[in-house]
A and B are shown apart, each in its own frame.
Chain A
Amino acid sequence: MSGLEDLYREIILDHYRSPRNRGELETPPAHRTEGFNPLCGDEVVVYVMVDGEGRIADIKINGQGCSISQSSASMMSAAVKGKTIDEARALTSTFKSMMSIHEQDIGGDGSEAEADPTDVTAEMKLGDLEALRGVVKFPVRIKCATLSWNTLTQALDEVAAARS
């Protein structure tokens, strides 16, 4: 079943089977945002607890979806927990550039993240999230991988708007 292993790396299956930060947070004080993939019906719910210094003190993920959307959400939660909002946004931007890699770049050695060079904070380490790089070979699945990130972005926007 070659090809499938490119998509379903072991780390992805691990996060799918044992999702990190799964659950809910009390709202308020936490903030809750829902995201939908209208094509497939997948839903993700992101709970973020941002402390007084603009740091993501806690994050929980709920909802249902495929292995790609669920593992991406799980890895995201682990990656942004404890980060500042700005760091989380930078990581989101790095991750989304990896997901929007051009067709002709597929098949490279995958050693460098496709970070936006104009963004000085985009030097974020993707770590485990690199495992999702294979998703770009399956264009219809990219939306699965980015669903939780778009929902997080919306949540952070809403938190920022509520504080300003």
Chain B
Amino acid sequence: MTTPATPTPESPPASEPSTADGPGRLDVAAIRRDFPVLDQRQDGHRLVFLDSAASSQHPRQVLDAMTSFYETSYANVHRGVYQLAERATAAYEGARGKVARFIGAPSANEVVFTKNATEAINLVAGSWGRANLKAGDAVVLTLMEHHANIVPWQMLAAQIGFEIRWVPLTDEGHLDLSDLDRLLDGAKLFAFTAMSNVLGTLNPVARLTAAAHEKGALALVDACQWVPHLPTDVVAMGADFVAFSAHKMLGPSGIGVLWARSELLEAMPPFLGGGGMILNVTTEGFTPDVPPARFEAGTPPIAEAVGLAAAIDYLSGLGMDAVHRHEVELTGYALRTLKAEVGDALTIYGPSEPSERGGVLSIALEGVHAHDISQVLDTQAVCIRPGHHCAKPLMRVLGAPATARASIYVYNDTDDIDALAAALVAARDFFKL
């Protein structure tokens, strides 16, 4: 995997990324050679990147695909008649098809490119929500949502006057579903995360969408932390809307995806107005185009779509089952190692069983604030994230203003966890009360 691929938009990276090295483990040494950013030292330390839940790094295959696209095939899409523009359009639409296959979507026309998952959820709120929700209705969220799946609904609720209900959590950080049927009674939408970006909790997505449908509600799945880490099948999920971002799955920032069932998209009014989303415009008004173009006003993120397609190729080469197995095993190693090395001063939030969670470890160290943990870790080139992780309602439930969050991905291995443990011990000792 040391030879950089020279992909073109039509034929993505020829070289296949490194595949599983024995059961439950990726060949991380080979994978790391694909990620130029990891090949650096900070103050003499190997860079230990444990912040992929915020944004992941990029393999050379993704960088090369985007560079090659800019060098050989860039033009605006859907407009030009010249060959360059046709190649650009083919690459952009090819990426749409690739996304559809990656998430099990029945049709590429159900894949809408957005700026990110946040915009995808705002699109559902601003289009479907505005057209279908009225005063007295209810939208059900959970207490483990990211602000991206809270604030759009609060903004709309402030205008329309519908009720927002909250699914509570158990002590171990699972959704408490004991009262779900009552919460869903009369609800129009159940919007929930597939995996908590703070606790790592993997939610029973198919069960939740079925519960919503039973009560006549639609189901929106925030799959930002799911699609990068587990095999995804939107049909098996039973979802009506699924949102995720490319930049958490080895792809570039600036592009996200809304998948929705075609009947829903066809009935939804436009979200943003502009070029590219109309069939006709007169001085009297406009006729919107069909989906997905209806929801892609303006010049879209073209090279970013090419980068996302290359990221999907890379992940597919690894195999999403293998990615998930690797992360479950490494998460288990992390739970054991951190507890053993750092001791009783350490709290790790979320489920204690690795198979019930993704590779997100929110940590509290007694007497040491998350900011201070992060600062000490930075002196050892260990990159984690302190703060509320855009989930303030959840932080209130946890009773913590902030946690220090380490999150793992395909390029992480036990040595990263060992470095994290050593740095946490240093932080504990530095601030010893």
Contacts and interface: CB of A to CB of B under 8 A. Distances in A.
A139 to B, nearest CB: 12
Interface string B99-116: 000000000000000000
B386 interface: yes
Leading 10 A-B pairs by shortest Cβ distance: A66-B371, A66-B369, A41-B388, A40-B387, A41-B401, A64-B401, A67-B372, A41-B402, A66-B372, A1-B379
A114 to B, nearest CB: 23
A145 to B, nearest CB: 11
Given A1-B430, A144-B371, A40 B379 contact: no
Which of A7, A66, A138: most chain B CB closer than 10 A?
A66
- The range of chain A's interface size is 20 to 34
Given A64-B401, A144-B371, A40 B430 contact: no
B375 A40 contact: no
A17 B392 CA distance: 26
Contacts of A7: 375
11 contacts: A1-B379, A8-B372, A40-B386, A40-B402, A41-B388, A41-B392, A42-B402, A43-B401, A66-B402, A141-B371, A144-B371
Interface in A103-122: none
Nearest to B389: A41
Q: Is the interface of A mostly helix, strand, loop or mixed?
A: mixed
A65 B401 CA distance: 7
B371 A3 contact: no
A8 B429 CA distance: 13
Contacts of A42: 371, 401-402
A32 to B, nearest CB: 19
B243 interface: no
Interface string B373-412: 0011001000000111000100100000110000000000
Given A41-B388, A141-B375, 13 more contacts: A1-B379, A4-B375, A7-B375, A17-B433, A40-B401, A41-B387, A41-B392, A41-B401, A42-B401, A65-B371, A67-B369, A68-B372, A144-B371
Contacts of B430: 1, 4, 8
A64 B401 CA distance: 7
Nearest to A16: B431
B431 A13 contact: yes
B426 interface: yes
A4 B371 contact: no
A52 B386 CA distance: 43
Contacts of B392: 41
B361 interface: no
A39 interface: yes
Nearest to B403: A41
A64 B372 CA distance: 13
